Structure 1
Amino acid sequence: MEISARKRDALPASQLYAWRTKAQQRGQTSEEQRLQQAENARLKREVTRLEEEIAFLKKAAAYFAKMPK
């Protein structure tokens, strides 16, 4: 298909290779973006979990601070 398109449209082979390379790079960029989004989602869940843990520990510290010694 590459050769027939090149012959039909009288495109230099280098142009087709450049387009293909650019398209492949965009595909890799999309994959990298997908991985980045997945990592961001994981980190947001981790932040939420840690914030909940901090809130619990603050309450526990306040409770134990009120206990008579």
Structure 2
Amino acid sequence: MAAEFAIYKGEEMLAIGTAKECAEKLGVSKEYIYWLTMPTAKRRLDKRKHPERCTVGVRLDKEDEDEGI
């Protein structure tokens, strides 16, 4: 089963689905979707003047959901 992602800009959800689905909806590459979830992207976001305006990605893993039970 392919990993799912949620892509946000500020509090607005732009896309949700597999990397391919999100990439097609946003007109970007799958690699960009993966990159949005990496620690490097998160560090760069922290350095931005207005991080609330940035596009961010969250990987939605089934394991993470099960840990909360």
Normalized against structure 2, the TM-score is what?
A: 0.28
Q: Which structure has the larger Rg over C-alpha atoms?
A: 1
Q: Which structure is higher in RCO with an 8 Å CA cutoff and minimum separation 6? A: 2
